[in-house]
Amino acid sequence: MSEAAAPKGLTLGELRAAGRKLHAYCTDDCGHERDLDLARIALPANLAVAEAGGRLKCRECGGKRIYTLPADGEAEAGTRKPEAGKAK
Ligand SMILES: [Zn+2]
């Protein structure tokens, strides 16, 4: 599949400043997903949103292949995951 790399422009700091959350999706095993409050996770503000997943770990399965994007999907609409049904 041709998955265009997410733009490096948007950082966690910008996301937090905009009052938006980080949506994290476990691609490892369980498909667990959740919105993370950036005020409550310890990641560098200058870290690109697309790179944040490399710093996270799934709370359900412990997997480390986490896919991250802005929670509202606005900036990267094409990459938004469909609702899994058991969100939250
Ligand atoms: Zn998982």
Does 75 have pLDDT greater than 80?
no
pLDDT at 5: 53
Phi, psi at residue 49, to the nearest 5°? -55, -45
Q: What is the pLDDT of residues 4-45, one digit of tens each?
A: 554 567 999 999 999 999 999 999 879 999 999 999 988 999
Cα 64 to ligand 1 centroid, rounded to whole Å: 8
Each domain of the chain, given as residue ranges in start order, spans 25-73
* CB 76 within 8 Å of CB 10: no
Residue with tokens 């995951």: 81
Cα 59 to ligand 1 centroid, rounded to whole Å: 7
Give the confidence band of 49 by pLDDT, cuts at 50, 70, 90. Answer: very high
Tell me the one-letter amino acid at 70. Answer: P
* pTM passes above 0.75: no
Cα 50 to ligand 1 centroid, rounded to whole Å: 18
Summary mean pLDDT of the chain = 82
* CB 23 within 8 Å of CB 73: yes
Please give the Cα distance from 19 to 69 (Å, whole number): 14
